[in-house]
Amino acid sequence: MRRTAEHVHVVADGELIAAHPRRYGRDQLICDPWHYLPVLEKKPGALRNGAPFVAWDLPHPIQLVRDRILKQPKGDRAFVELLMLAGEAGLDALTVACELALECGIVSAPIVMNELRRLIAPHLPAAAIAVPDGIALTMEPLANCQRYDYLLGSTNVH
């Protein structure tokens, strides 16, 4: 650990792994929650009461999504997965993904994850499928919407 008048630098194997502004005073606990993501991955329940996460000042859309997801079964683990993706994609991308999920009205971790992945890698080209020469469409299928009426139980099918 290296300390200057303004910063504390944590060095491991000659490489800087963390830098924080120095705080003077007694009985202060100062944590950067992002440094504890690996702990959350192993113990997602720490998200609710862990010291680094209790007063975590996340953007408002993320807070709203967090509060809803934590009420769902296995919500701790689901929200931690979102945070892990945000560690790669950035907090701004997670904020936008949360806003999009809130706009659509269905808030769940898979919805937010889907929105986040769309933001990270938009419009990936469809994979080309190699079709053997022996397989070819010989008769074009006809659209028959009455089939759907029959499946829905409508009695007016001809």
Could you read off the pLDDT of 59-93 as tens digits, one per residue? 999 999 999 999 988 888 999 999 888 888 888 99
Q: How is 57-122 classified by DSSP, letter by letter?
A: ---HHHHHHHHHHHTSTTHHHHHHHHHHHHHHH-HHHHHHHHHHHHHHT---HHHHHHHHHHHHST
**Could you tell me the two tokens for 105?**
């009205």
* The pLDDT value given to residue 42: 86
Residue type, 11: V
Same domain, 40 and 115: yes
Other CB atoms within a 10 A radius of the CB of residue 26 amount to 4
> Residue 16's beta-bridge partner residues?
11
Give the Cα separation of 29 and 43 in Å (integer). 21
Same domain, 26 and 48: no
Same domain, 45 and 112: yes
> Do the domain assignments include residue 139?
no
What domain range includes position 8?
1-30
* The pLDDT value given to residue 97: 93
Greatest mean pLDDT range, 28-32, 75-79, 119-123, 130-134: 75-79
Q: At what angle do helices 75-89 and 60-70 cross, to 10 degrees?
A: 150
Same domain, 88 and 18: no
| Total domain count, the chain | 2
* The pLDDT value given to residue 69: 92
What number of CA atoms fall less than 13 Å from residue 59's CA on the CB side? 14
Give the model confidence (pLDDT) of 89-124 as tens digits: 888 999 999 999 999 888 999 999 989 888 887 666
- Please say whether the dihedral angle defined by the alpha carbons of residues 147, 150, 151 and 154, taken in this order, is positive or negative: positive
> Do the domain assignments include residue 128?
no
* The pLDDT value given to residue 124: 64
3-state DSSP call for residue 116? helix
* pTM as predicted: 0.62
Same domain, 2 and 70: no
DSSP label of 55: T
Same domain, 17 and 91: no
